Amino acid sequence: MQALLHAIVEPGFFADGAVQIAATLGGVVAVVAGLIGVFTVIRSQAFAGHALSDIGSAGGSSAYLAGVAPLWGFVGISVLAAAAMEQIGVQRARGRDVATGIVLGVGFALASLFLYLGMTYHNSSGEIPTILFGSVFTLSAANLPLVIGLGAVALLTTLTLYRPLLLASVSPELAAARGVHVRVVGAAYLFALAITVALCDLTIGAILSTALLVGPAAAALRLTDRPHRAALLAAGISLACTWLGLLLAWDSFYWPPLRHGWPVSFFIVTLVLAAYLAAGALARGQTKRG
Amino acid sequence: MAALAITIAVSACGSNGGGPAASAGAAGGSPGRITAVGAENQYANVIAQIGGRYVSVTAIMNNPNTDPHSFEASPSVATAVAAAKLIVQNGAGYDSFMNKIESASPSRSRRVIDVQTLLGLPAFTRNPHLWYEPTTMPKVAAAIVRDLSALAPAHARYFDANGRRFDATLQPWLHAIASFKRLHARTPVAVTEPVADYLLQAAGANVLTPWVLQADIMDGVDPAPQDVTLEDNLFKQHRVKVFLYNRQVTNTVTESFLKLATQNHIPVVGVYETMPPGYSYGAWMLAETRALSEAVTAHRSTEGL
């Protein structure tokens, strides 16, 4: 048993300081992403979520340039971009992709400028992979209060609006007829989404962060139709992928090329895909039997 | 803006810069002087010391607040390179942007000294910080004397005398290395990045930081948490006597090491990729070597030059 455990978990994993911080931060973010992500999938806002996360690269790079914590950059730019999308018309299905696409383009343009300036005038090293692909093992514990606070804001916003948001997501017309301010509810959700995306940007990077937001939620919705059950399931899947990803990244230090750990984000995102495919297979199995 | 900086000014005007330099102009070269470029300001400094009043030198990388490993060239760099008759660059992938710019403005009369090639090292030399190796610069200086003499044969004796004077300026540094080696051989040290490794090797110090961690920090990729823990323990368990901190390649990981070293009262020596302002090459190397020995003998930190 002991030998088996050692083969799966290379020594030192649980005792390592960087692992403990990464598991705590990554865990909080994973749970928030899973819960919030279910609405993203129900509302078909995956592209908006992806755009917000990509735009995060502009926020992260500007934060480096200004010498403040990257999370502030991610949150600031994400909320700003969400506001811009709301104004241009992300609520309407027709204008949505166009508005999202335009804001996304501007975000990348800003990122290219800030990264260039950062590399030319700054002594920091490795900011590009960190911003784009994340580096959860290098995060400091100082991030924890802020991550928990922001996660709580996103969750409370979504929880407060749970019923009207659900109705507005499934049938905007019916919601409007029942007196729900569809646009206000949508804007509030977009705000919560922007914060969630910023948190994912911090742990698995601006490019990959949608995987954590959309993947576990989509997998959960393949297994159940009930939104609250799907949200809890998504949080569980997301947490499992994150923690298992950390473990595999730790173990990969002992794989070839030796002493080079593989990037954590690679494992997390690959596990998310595996969970999505497994959920699909499971769902097909259920319908056949049913 | 930061890229093109000190065009090293020399007061007296050269009477005869030797044919080719007449075309100069663009990059601050004045007529009659040989226009030269040092890809890093330490090489520019050596060119200036040898070329003296007959050469006008531009340094491409000279900002001590940037990471040369991720430097990107701007159009002004291309202008300087196009006008140059003599270029000294490091090679070993450290300044490969220079090769691109040179091939964009080909010139048959331009002489390029690639230090890695000059030293007969392979292109995949894993530690590119060749100027920290005490035997490097005298060879580079000799090559500069040779090329400047070919560009302006009338001043060959002047360049030759300056070359010998340059070698002499390195003596205090070489003595400092020799005495460190005699008194403190096998001193255990930690580093962030391999910038001063050649110097540490020459001084007989024992670098305990794993190579992969150094390379990861140099290359700007995430180090494995196992290696970070290993480095953390070098400080926590007081297994090293000095921590050499590269001021120009920093990130959250190196900052956490710096904090740990300070907490554990391990003296810190700030080291640089390019020459800090106010120094010549020899004085810079001497200052870093002295800082290293003061860290060992007097337990004193020199966080920055």
Mean pLDDT of B141-152: 97
- Band of pLDDT at residue B276, cut at 50, 70 and 90: very high
Identify which of B288, B112, B135 has the alpha carbon closest to the alpha carbon of residue B202: B135
Q: Phi first, then psi: give them for residue B187, nearest 5 degrees.
A: -60, 125
Q: Does B221 touch chain A (CB under 8 A)?
A: yes
- Of residues A129 and B281, more confidently modeled: B281
Q: What is the pLDDT of residue A122?
A: 75
Query: What is the average pLDDT score of chain B?
Result: 89
- Polymer length in residues for chain A: 290
Return the residue matching tokens 């002489």. Answer: B111
Q: Cβ B247–A140 below 8 Å, yes or no? A: no
Cα–Cα distance between A136 and A140 in angstroms, integer? 9
This prediction's pTM: 0.86
CA closest to B67 among chain A residues: A123
Q: Reply yes or no on whether the pLDDT at B25 is more than 70.
A: no
Q: Cβ A139–B252 below 8 Å, yes or no? A: yes
Nearest CB to A126 within list B71, B221, B248? B221
Mean pLDDT of A202-214: 92
Q: What is the pLDDT of residue B17?
A: 32
- Band of pLDDT at residue A195, cut at 50, 70 and 90: very high
Question: How close, in Å, is residue A131 to chain B by CA atoms?
Answer: 12
Query: What is the average pLDDT score of chain A?
Result: 90
CA distances A113 to A9, A58, A133, A176, B61, Å, are 42, 8, 18, 43, 20
Question: Three-state SS string across chain A, please?
Answer: CHHHHHHHCCCCCCCCHHHHHHHHHHHHHHHHHHHHHHHHHHCCCHHHHHHHHHHHHHHHHHHHHHCCCHHHHHHHHHHHHHHHHHHHCCCCHHHHHHHHHHHHHHHHHHHHHHHHHHHHHCCECCHHHHHHHCCHHHCCHHHHHHHHHHHHHHHHHHHHCHHHHHHHHHCHHHHHHCCCCHHHHHHHHHHHHHHHHHHHHHHHCCCCHHHHHHHHHHHHHHHCCCHHHHHHHHHHHHHHHHHHHHHHHHHHHHCCCCCCCCCHHHHHHHHHHHHHHHHHHHHHHHHHHC
- Of residues B8 and B169, more confidently modeled: B169
Residue range B79-124, pLDDT digits in tens: 999 999 999 999 999 999 999 999 999 999 999 999 999 999 999 9
Q: What is the pLDDT of residue B151?
A: 96
Q: Reply yes or no on whether the pLDDT at B29 is more than 70.
A: no
Q: Does B33 touch chain A (CB under 8 A)?
A: no
Mean pLDDT of B25-40: 74
Q: Cβ A125–B71 below 8 Å, yes or no? A: no
- Of residues B112 and B2, more confidently modeled: B112
Q: Is A48 left (phi over 0), alpha (psi -120 to 50) or beta?
A: alpha
Q: Reply yes or no on whether the pLDDT at B257 is more than 80.
A: yes
Cα–Cα distance between B163 and B157 in angstroms, integer? 10
Q: How many CB pairs under 8 A join A and B?
A: 101
Q: Is the bond preceding residue A257 a cis peptide, omega within 30 degrees? A: yes
Which residues, other chains included, contact A50 with Cβ-Cβ below 8 Å and sequence gap of 6+? A210, A214
Identify which of A162, A145, A2, A131 has the alpha carbon closest to the alpha carbon of residue A61: A131
Q: Residues B69, B62: contact at Cβ < 8 Å?
A: no
Q: What does the buried/exposed string (b/e) look like for B169-181 if buried means 16 or more CB atoms within 10 Å of the residue's CB?
A: bbeebbebbeebe
Cα–Cα distance between A44 and A266 in angstroms, integer? 25
Q: Cβ B251–A125 below 8 Å, yes or no? A: yes
Question: How close, in Å, is residue B77 to chain A by CA atoms?
Answer: 13
- Band of pLDDT at residue B73, cut at 50, 70 and 90: confident
Cα–Cα distance between A146 and A140 in angstroms, integer? 12
Which residues, other chains included, contact A168 with Cβ-Cβ below 8 Å and sequence gap of 6+? A175, A180, A182, A185, A186
Q: What is the pLDDT of residue B103?
A: 93
Q: What domains, with CATH codes, occur in chain B?
A: 7-169 (3.40.50.1980), 173-297 (3.40.50.1980)
Q: Does B114 touch chain A (CB under 8 A)?
A: no
Collapsing DSSP states into helix, strand and coil, what is residue B5?
coil
Q: What is the pLDDT of residue B30?
A: 57
Q: What domains, with CATH codes, occur in chain A?
A: 12-281 (1.10.3470.10)
- Reported ipTM: the value is 0.84
Q: Reply yes or no on whether the pLDDT at B152 is more than 60.
A: yes
Q: What is the pLDDT of residue A90?
A: 54
B216, B252, B256, B257: best mutation site toward chain A, by most A Cβ within 10 Å? B252
Q: Reply yes or no on whether the pLDDT at B21 is more than 60.
A: no
Q: Does B63 touch chain A (CB under 8 A)?
A: yes
Q: Reply yes or no on whether the pLDDT at A208 is more than 80.
A: yes
Q: Cβ B256–A140 below 8 Å, yes or no? A: yes
- Of residues B15 and B275, more confidently modeled: B275
Residue range A159-173, pLDDT digits in tens: 999 999 999 999 989
Q: Cβ B221–A121 below 8 Å, yes or no? A: no
Cα–Cα distance between A122 and A103 in angstroms, integer? 27
Q: What is the pLDDT of residue A93?
A: 62
- Name the percent of chain B in helix, strand, coil, to the closest 5: 50, 15, 35
Bridge partners for B302 per DSSP: B269
- Of residues B289 and A260, more confidently modeled: B289
Q: Cβ A120–B66 below 8 Å, yes or no? A: yes
Residue range A89-121, pLDDT digits in tens: 755 666 677 878 888 899 999 999 998 888 777
- List CB contacts (< 8 A) between A122 and chain B: 65-67
Q: Phi first, then psi: give them for residue B93, nearest 5 degrees.
A: 80, 0
Q: Residues A227, A169: contact at Cβ < 8 Å?
A: no
Identify which of B123, B38, B131, B19 has the alpha carbon closest to the alpha carbon of residue B80: B38
Q: Phi first, then psi: give them for residue B148, nearest 5 degrees.
A: -65, -40
Lateral strand order in the sheet of B268-271: B206-207, B188-191, B242-246, B268-271
Nearest CB to B72 within list A12, A120, A253? A120
- Band of pLDDT at residue B250, cut at 50, 70 and 90: confident
Cα–Cα distance between A56 and A45 in angstroms, integer? 17
Mean pLDDT of A37-56: 92
Q: Is A10 left (phi over 0), alpha (psi -120 to 50) or beta?
A: beta
- List CB contacts (< 8 A) between B228 and chain A: 18, 137-138
Question: Three-state SS string across B120-175, please?
Answer: CCCCCCCCCCHHHCCCHHHHHHHHHHHHHHHHCHHHHHHHHHHHHHHHHHCHHHHH
Q: Cβ A122–B221 below 8 Å, yes or no? A: no
Q: What is the pLDDT of residue B2?
A: 39
- Band of pLDDT at residue A202, cut at 50, 70 and 90: very high
Nearest CB to A16 within list B70, B229, B248? B229
Q: Cβ A126–B232 below 8 Å, yes or no? A: no
Q: What is the pLDDT of residue A11?
A: 80
Mean pLDDT of B136-153: 97
CA closest to B257 among chain A residues: A138
- Of residues B196 and A102, more confidently modeled: B196
Q: Does B229 touch chain A (CB under 8 A)?
A: yes
In percent, the amount of chain B with pLDDT more than 70 equals 90
- List CB contacts (< 8 A) between A136 and chain B: none
Q: Reply yes or no on whether the pLDDT at B11 is more than 70.
A: no
Q: Cβ A130–B222 below 8 Å, yes or no? A: yes
In percent, the amount of chain B with pLDDT more than 90 equals 78
Out of A207-211, A223-227, B17-21, B80-84, pick the least confident. Answer: B17-21
B1, B61, B62, B70: best mutation site toward chain A, by most A Cβ within 10 Å? B70
Give ∠ CA A206-A96-A203 in degrees, rounded to 5: 15
- Band of pLDDT at residue B187, cut at 50, 70 and 90: very high
